[in-house]
Amino acid sequence: MPDFTITVTAATAQRVQAMTAAYNEAHGTSLTGVQWVKRQLAEVIFADDFNTAETNLRAAANRQLLADATAAREALIVGA
């Protein structure tokens, strides 16, 4: 990822520091403010990819569950 610089006000920098500290506390991490901002940006940039992957995984799991249920039902019918 290419580097770029942004300029923020002192108040915004303080908010980033506070939000980073809260994130670190909640997640047991020790991210710097820059690392936290990069993480937040990546979440936004890749959100569609993450959602698509999650949807595909859920669909595959559901297909497998249906196939397993169908096989179990057939086994019961054949064994009856």
Q: Helices 47-79 & 33-45, crossing angle to 10 degrees? A: 60
For residue 36, the tally of other CB atoms under 10 A from its CB is 19
Q: What is the pLDDT of residue 67?
A: 95
| CA neighbor of 16 nearest in space, from 2, 31, 4 | 31
Q: Are 46 and 25 in contact (CB under 8 A)?
A: no
Whole-model pTM: value is 0.63
Print pLDDT tens along the chain (80 aa): 678 899 999 999 999 999 999 999 999 999 999 999 999 999 999 999 999 999 999 999 999 999 999 999 999 999 87
